[in-house]
A = this chain, B = another copy of it.
Amino acid sequence: MQPILSAEELDAFLQKEFPQAEGYTVASVAPGEAVLRLEAGEKHLRPGGTVSGPSLFALADVAAYIAILAHIGPVALAVTTNLTINFLRKPEPGRLDGRARILKLGRRLAVVDVAITHAGDPTVLAHAVATYSIPPR
């Protein structure tokens, strides 16, 4: 499974198409994988000062989406059909990485595993598995 778009191309696509993805950047792409980075600041926190659930959900969801687009191209209109997320540890603000690994890239469905960590620290803070429906190509 070889990516057909670079991290730079995916990031340009993300910034252009999803202006709400402020703070999220595509950090890297590799065969079957992509890493999305979130600089978690004030607007991503919840009371108590840890990163909010919706911000972690968005990091996992968009990381999976970017991993899929990296391998099928930006024309595809893939949509999330299912996402399961486990919140394991309360994440302090800072640089969070969502590492998305493709478990299956079929004609109709893609399933992606996402581990969220602080950049440079292997401890998994949250873990998600997402299913995307892929339109006929």
Q: Which residues of A does B touch, CB under 8 Å?
A: 17-18, 20, 43, 46-47, 52-55, 57-58, 61, 79-90, 103-104, 108-109, 111, 113, 124, 127, 129, 131, 133
Chain B residues within 8 Å of A53, by CB:
57-58, 61, 80, 83
A sample of 23 cross-chain residue pairs with beta-carbon separation below 8 angstroms, ordered by A number, consists of A17-B47, A18-B46, A20-B43, A53-B57, A53-B58, A53-B83, A54-B55, A54-B57, A57-B57, A80-B87, A81-B87, A82-B85, A82-B86, A82-B87, A86-B129, A88-B103, A103-B124, A103-B127, A108-B108, A109-B133, A111-B127, A113-B113, A113-B127
Q: Give which listed residue, B43, B55, B61, B84, contacts A129 with CB less than 8 A.
A: B84
Output the nearest chain B residue to A79 by Cβ-Cβ distance.
Answer: B87
| Copies of this protein in the complex | 4
Task: Give every chain B residue within 8 A of A108 (Cβ-Cβ).
Answer: 108, 133
Enumerate the 3 nearest inter-chain pairs by beta-carbon distance, A residue then B residue, closest first.
Answer: A84-B84, A88-B104, A54-B58
* Interchain CB contact under 8 A, B82 and A82: yes
